[in-house]
Amino acid sequence: MSVVPITIFMPLIDEGVDVWRPVQAQPLENACYFVLGPMPDDEKWEFPPGAVVRCEMRSLSGDGGRSELRKVAHEQVTLKLN
């Protein structure tokens, strides 16, 4: 059985203001996710496709200006294989 990708929010860099883009990621373990691509040519993600990132829950403004809790990538991690 395969794990269905989910949406996490990726910080964009070089935007002038704080911006997060919804991206697809494969759930792993310990709040870690494998970032799927591709990255659009006109964007620069903080963590590239293929990176393993740890997410934290953060309140972001959603549609209509309401604040919603979202999974936001906040650090790249290296998983140790046994």
Write out the H or E segment, with its range, that includes residue 1.
none
Residues near 10 by beta carbon (within 8 Å), at least 6 away in sequence = 20, 21, 22, 23, 35, 45, 46, 47, 73
- Residue 81 located in a structural domain: no
Residue 82 reports pLDDT greater than 70: no
- pLDDT tens-digit map of 23-42: 999 999 888 999 999 999 99
| Residues 42-53, mean pLDDT to the nearest whole number | 97
Whether the model pTM is above 0.75:
yes
Domain that residue 70 falls in: 6-76
More confident residue, 58 or 81: 58
Domain count of the fold of the chain: 1
- Candidates 60, 65, 78, 48; CA nearest to 9 is 60
- Residue 16 located in a structural domain: yes
- Residue 70 located in a structural domain: yes
